[in-house]
Structure 1
Amino acid sequence: MSSATDRLSTATGRIDRSLQPLAGVYNRLFGDYFGEMNGLQFVLIFGTAAALLTAPLWGNFGLVRAMTVAAIWAIFAMSWDIQSGYTGYISFGHSVLSGAAGYTTAMLIHNVNPELSMMITIPVSVFAALVVGLLVALPSLRLAGPYFSLITFVSVLIFYRLIPSFSQYTGGETGIQSVEVFTYDPFARYYYMIIPMFLIAIVLTLIARSNIGLILMSIRENEAAVNAAGINATKFKIFSFALSSIPMGIGGVLLVHFGGGVDPTTFIVVDRSIEMIAIAVLGGMSSILGPLGGAFFLIVLRDYVLTEIAGFSSPIRWTVFWGLVLVVLVFVRDGLFRKLWHGLDRFGGDRR
């Protein structure tokens, strides 16, 4: 076993050295902004990006559809991570942010004008998510520990209960199913989702690796020390929640235009927030790209491998989904993709 391990290490070391010139060019140009990478890390990141961008060329309909859904959930998981993963303030209410955006789009079209342009509905919907995010963050982030998590949990329950109370505007339990989809072409629809996902990943990674990201991580490790250093930790916590709200709103808009409608079960219930957390945990919290990888791994597994290839029923699929998350929590607490990234780091690279 030791001999086989040594041979594998030698082989991967040679591959890394052969790829190092490419990684060196990247490190000189972008290393200060996104972190330096060794050859293996470079090929992992850019090879994965190339595979995602060309998926319609090699994937079948079922796989591409699952990857389209995964792109939306990747946005949700990365958005949750920049707030909860980095600050350590775990939110159980992020689905209320995507729900605010989705419902704003649907209600504008349903109640105001069915011909409203997306150039109007999309920015208004993202702004609605930001407003709701601030309404949740301002009172809750002055608290600590479980009290913050409880308030975010209650915010979902309040939003969910308000929907049937204003059913003439929200459509009640059945929701509103009159939203225009971006396109019915499955491959074009994929790019409508994957391109915003990449842009959001780049922006959030850039922020996470900046001084702002360092402050957010410092809050997670020792908030009292951050305040003692003269930095207003509450201000940065509120900022992180507001920052998280914007891509959550974008994801909510993409989801409503993907399905052509909105309803409380798809957008609001706390299960959606728990799924975001599960994806981030499986991929690796406080890493941005970890939750992205976790989204594609879990959603493709659930919606394509277990559904179309294995033919499992819904209860079995969800059992496998949550069972896998439980195994990762017990045995790979840093997440699968953070574990992989740190494993490649022994050849030289970045550990963040």
Structure 2
Amino acid sequence: MNGLQLALVVVSLVSLVTAPFWSNFIIVQTFTLASIWAIFAMSWDIQSGYTGYISFGHSALSGAAAYTTAMLLYNVGDLPFMATAPVSVLVTLVVGLAIALPSLRLSGPYFSLITFVAVLIFYRLIRPFSDYTGGETGLQSVEVFTYDPIPRFYYMVIPMLVIAVALLFIARSNIGLVFTAIRENESAVEAAGLNATKFKLWSFVISAIPMGIGGVLLAHYSGGVDPNAFVVVDNSIEMIAMAVVGGMSSILGPLGGAFLFLSLDRIILTELPTRLRWILIWVFVLLVLVFARDGLLRKLWHGLDRLGGDRR
């Protein structure tokens, strides 16, 4: 990291944590929600971006955590957050393993198809168990942490930053190196005596834990759950789009991509009609895929590396 890159990180971090003191209500609300989606995008990235096994089923993981929290509060009673949150994350981990175990021996479109089907199954199971899940209308049983925008902002930003540091540490460790090697040449990993399937399973486990945390936070942000907002495949697609815009297999890229994606939707293009706004957002994502395949933030990072690098 050279001086320019360090300056970018410091300025971005300071700007984020001080946002309530220099911005307006809309920006604070957008950054609050973007912090949760940044957790989702980074969690997807550590599994799919690093290993190359593209998952369309991560909304099932966040949905499992959110629904577990809501169902516990609705069906059991007024439980404390410190009781519901660990259970919700544990359920997310179990759901992640249920998806991963039958799918990780496959590759390419077959793996992606199974993860896609997992979301559809989850969605279809909500209605038959409507006595517990609330069916199509969902459950409004989750207490919002606070409606005060400043504390609410920090309730979401602080866990996001902690998760970002943890995932960065994992990504830069030997485990992250093996994940990347699986993406580049899985046969070579097997030839080196490493069990690629075991490491792919670990990637799903590592991804499921922060996905569960993000799902719990989103439930407490929204005050409830419903299938159309928490489980649909669209959520998985948006996580992927955020990672693509920022730069896959970088952790910080998807983090920045989430903030950029939500800022486009809720700040920059907010005055446009909903359909036109989303058309423009997805055209933007498509342009990034065509002209900046490594992601905008990764492109910026490499540009700063060239500008501030050692020129001896």
TM-score, normalised via structure 1 length: 0.87
SS of 2:127's partner is helix
1:71 pairs, out of 35, 46, 49, with 35
Letter in 2 for 1:222: N
Give, in angstroms, the shift of residue 247 of structure 1: 0.4
How many residues are treated as equivalent by the alignment? 310
Matches within 5 A, 1:147-296: 147-296=110-259
Give, in angstroms, the shift of residue 59 of structure 1: 0.9
Q: Deviations over 1:231-281 (max 9, x none)?
A: 000000000001000000000000000010000111100000000000000
SS of 1:131's partner is helix
Matches within 5 A, 1:330-341: 330-341=290-301
Give, in angstroms, the shift of residue 305 of structure 1: 1.8
State the distance in 1 between where 2:15 and 2:205 align: 32
SS of 1:165's partner is coil
Q: Deviations over 1:163-222 (max 9, x none)?
A: 001000000011001210011101110000000000000000010001101100000000
Q: Deviations over 1:20-66 (max 9, x none)?
A: xxxxxxxxxxxxxxxxx100000101110000000000110011101
SS of 1:207's partner is helix
Q: Deviations over 1:88-132 (max 9, x none)?
A: 00000000000000000000000011x100010001001111110
> Which of structures 1 and 2 has the larger relative contact order (alpha carbons within 8 angstroms, sep 6+)?
2
Aligned to 1:106: 70
Give, in angstroms, the shift of residue 346 of structure 1: 1.3
- Note if contact 1:134-1:241 (Cα within 8 Å) is conserved in structure 2: yes
Aligned to 1:34: none
State the distance in 2 between where 1:347 and 1:59 align: 30
- Note if contact 1:96-1:156 (Cα within 8 Å) is conserved in structure 2: yes
Q: Structure 2 unaligned segments of length 5 or more: list them.
A: none
Letter in 2 for 1:334: D
- Note if contact 2:4-2:308 (Cα within 8 Å) is conserved in structure 1: no
Letter in 1 for 2:135: G
State the distance in 2 between where 1:40 and 1:263 align: 44
Q: Deviations over 1:49-86 (max 9, x none)?
A: 00000000011001110111111110000000000000
Q: Which has more radius of gyration?
A: 1
Whether 1:134 aligns to 2:94 is no
- Note if contact 1:284-1:290 (Cα within 8 Å) is conserved in structure 2: yes
Give, in angstroms, the shift of residue 286 of structure 1: 0.2
State the distance in 1 between where 2:236 and 2:27 align: 24
State the distance in 2 between where 1:175 and 1:159 align: 14
State the distance in 1 between where 2:293 and 2:161 align: 26
SS of 2:269's partner is helix
Aligned to 1:9: none
SS of 2:105's partner is coil
Whether 1:43 aligns to 2:3 is no
State the distance in 1 between where 2:34 and 2:186 align: 34
Q: Structure 1 unaligned segments of length 5 or more: list them.
A: 1-36
Letter in 2 for 1:105: T
Letter in 1 for 2:122: F
2:265 pairs, out of 299, 302, 312, with 302
Q: CA RMSD in A?
A: 1.0
State the distance in 2 between where 1:189 and 1:316 align: 30
Aligned to 2:277: 317
State the distance in 2 between where 1:107 and 1:289 align: 33
1:54 pairs, out of 18, 28, 44, with 18
- Note if contact 1:176-1:262 (Cα within 8 Å) is conserved in structure 2: yes
Give, in angstroms, the shift of residue 348 of structure 1: 5.3
- Note if contact 1:66-1:303 (Cα within 8 Å) is conserved in structure 2: yes
